[in-house]
Amino acid sequence: MSDTTKLSHTAALILQTVDHGCSYGFDIMDETGLPSGTVYPALRRMEKEGLISSQWEAEKKALAEQRPARKYYRVTRAGAQVLEQAQKRYPLLGKLSQKSRR
Amino acid sequence: MPDEPKLPWVVSLSQMLVRGAAPLVPVEQREDWLREWHAEIWHRWQFLFHTGGWNQREKLLLFRNALGAFADAAWLMASQDSVRSRISGIARSPFTCLAAFALILSMIASLSSGLQATREMLFRQMPNKAGKLTFIWLHHPLGGGDRGLPADVVPAWEQGSKLLNGVAGMEVRHDQVSWNGRVLPDDPLVIAASPSLFKVLGVKADAGQFPAEAGVVLDHRAWTALTHRKAGVVGTDVKIGRHAYRVSAILPASFEFLSRQPTIYVIEKLTYERKAFVVARVKPDVSDQKLRKELSRIASEVTAYFNLQNQMRFSTWREALLSPLVSFVPATLLAAIFACFTLRTSFKQMKRAFEPENRRVAARRTFFFIAKTGLALACVFVGCLEWSRSESSVLLASRDPGSGPFLLWLYVLGTMGVVFWSVADQRARCRVCMRLMAFPVRIGSPGCLLLDWSGTELFCSEGHGLLHVPTMTPSWDEDADRWISLDDSWKGLFLHDK
């Protein structure tokens, strides 16, 4: 999968945002400035392609804090490889990544 | 939590929107999907509320993001295999092809105020004695392009011709027009014309009097747009470009000459260096040949430095209106002849499909081919006509009044494209149900012609047959496409959700 998957600029930006620790849909929207109608379908597609995985947080913890549990996303190993390729293909994305890590 | 706030209406509304979008999500994912969206909306609101950022802007943003649930749900729905196969089935259907062209036609109609130029071409009533009105202009036999005549031929024809009842020259341009500081948008059409123009056209002024030597005449649309129908405009100054002109008359609402848009007529003497398109009123029973001979003789006497003999074009009002049709018919014939030569193999293959082993199928295929080609040609005809003649329907028409042959080129290219596409599309359809063939397996290389392929096998998605297109077509067997009908024993392979 990681050898063949080519991401659009937007999808690569979303994947990079998840990689930087934004695990929830609305956080990704805040970080990227993209609307929900773009972010969520991109997350679904990347999950289907195995670039990210999703998981529900522990129900017990959420109940104890009297709030609904959230679903969070994480970049998979295949996703990390694809992201690396995307950063090479889109140099600006790579620069953005270095800047935000500094 | 003692200070737990009441759920704001924006949050409730957003959650309602999400619930509204939920039916689009496949049942097995729906609960999970709803939980995720509700949790995100709730957390968003809580975070902003407790950090003091819950304001009007954030409320609007939350609502906007909740609308995105529809896009998310639609994506999940469309990514299901059954939905995808149904969508591609609809896209391959022959009815979709016909419906697409019908939709394009209706879009052209809605964008062109109900096919204004086409209606005008077919149904426009002739102005008074219009049959005697003749347009004269230059068209270089080699270089092409419509141009005006040297303007000094106009008075020469007026004085010297015994075959004309009147003649006037016109120079057409677009310019900025303003009155009392109000500027007409989109630089309207300005026609510089000789004083005899309205006499030749046989029209009377609605207000004021036509100038004998110099002045400006507004048509009804220009008068409305520029002055909001102020009767006092006659006698005031209107600014055209950098110069001011006195308004002498307003034309009646029923008068329409070159353009459907607001038009301003600047009446002035056209000097010899100007290039004028000419409109003349010809006496009854004058033949074209006689007229051409006399006008050419007088013109060559006046402008000896121009070889006008072979360049002059004559056209009556009716001919000018119908000129798109005159361009379209030969363009279509040319495309058909060209297609017959270059696509003779494809025609042979199509002919095989029309053979009488199954008359009903053959008739359906023929009907579909004719309907599809007819609709596509209608789109080309109407689309090009409306686009190129958005301003005017008569001789000096087309997008730029003065480039008449432009439409002919549009038609040649358009009809050629339609005929070639139509034949290629017919080849790529099932011989029984006329759906576009699916599951292409490329066994060769792409063809060297547009819309062509070589070395491919395709199946009908309903299991009617297989089309084999060989990698190379041997010269002794140009009719090499093989349609292999599949009997009912294959049906099981093609069962899918209806």
- CB contact (8 A) between residue A36 and residue B67: yes
- For residue B68, pLDDT over 80 is answered with yes
Please give, rounded to a whole number of angstroms, the shortest distance from the CA of B19 to a CA of chain A: 16
Report ipTM for this prediction. 0.90
Strand partners, B438: B459
Take residue B51 and report the two structure tokens written for it.
């950090």
Which B residues, 57 through 96, put their C-beta within 8 Å of a C-beta on chain A?
A: 64-72, 75-76, 79
Phi, psi of B356 (to 5 degrees): -75, 15
Tell me how far apart the alpha carbons of residues B375 and B211 are, in angstroms, rounded to a whole number: 49
Q: Is B418 in a helix, a strand, or coil?
A: helix
- For residue B107, pLDDT over 90 is answered with yes
Q: What is the pLDDT of residues B143-169, one digit of tens each?
A: 666 778 888 888 888 888 888 888 999
Q: What is the pLDDT of residues B118-134, one digit of tens each?
A: 888 887 766 555 557 88
Q: Which CATH number does the domain A9-93 belong to among 3.90.1150.10, 1.25.10.10, 1.10.10.10, 1.10.287.130? A: 1.10.10.10
CA dihedral B16, B17, B23, B25 (to 10 degrees): -120
- For residue B255, pLDDT over 60 is answered with yes
- B223 or B186, which is more confident: B223
The pLDDT, as a whole number, for residue B406 is 74
The pLDDT, as a whole number, for residue B398 is 45
Which A residues, 49 through 88, put their C-beta within 8 Å of a C-beta on chain B?
A: 66-71
Q: What is the pLDDT of residues B257-313, one digit of tens each?
A: 777 778 899 998 888 788 888 888 888 888 888 888 888 888 888 776 666 667 788
Beta-carbon contacts of B430 under 8 Å, excluding residues fewer than 6 positions away, are B436, B437, B460, B462, B464, B465
Tell me how far apart the alpha carbons of residues B123 and A53 are, in angstroms, rounded to a whole number: 66
Q: What is the pLDDT of residues A20-53, one digit of tens each?
A: 988 899 999 988 889 999 999 999 999 999 999 9
Q: Is B305 in a helix, a strand, or coil?
A: coil
Interface contact B446, partner A, CB < 8 A? no
Domain definitions of chain A by residue range: 9-93
* Residue-averaged pLDDT of chain B: 82
- The three-state DSSP-derived secondary structure of B137-206 is EEECCCCCCEECEECCHHHHHHHHCCCEEEEEEEEEEECCEEECCEECCCCCEEEEECCCHHHHHCCCCC
Give the distance, in angstroms, between the CA of residue A14 and the centroid of all CA atoms in the same chain.
5
Interface contact B38, partner A, CB < 8 A? yes
CB A14 within 8 A of CB A46: yes
Reported confidence tier of residue B402, pLDDT bands at 50, 70, 90: very low
Which member of A25, A67, A71 has the closest CB to residue B42?
A67
- CB contact (8 A) between residue B71 and residue A37: yes
The pLDDT, as a whole number, for residue B396 is 56
Average pLDDT over residues B364-392: 88
The pLDDT, as a whole number, for residue B312 is 82
Which member of B1, B40, B46 has the closest CB to residue A25?
B40
CB B299 within 8 A of CB B158: no
- For residue B401, pLDDT over 50 is answered with no
The pLDDT, as a whole number, for residue B408 is 81
- For residue B236, pLDDT over 50 is answered with yes
CB B419 within 8 A of CB B426: no
Tell me how far apart the alpha carbons of residues A34 and B456 are, in angstroms, rounded to a whole number: 42
Which member of A29, A67, A69 has the closest CB to residue B65?
A29
* Residue-averaged pLDDT of chain A: 87
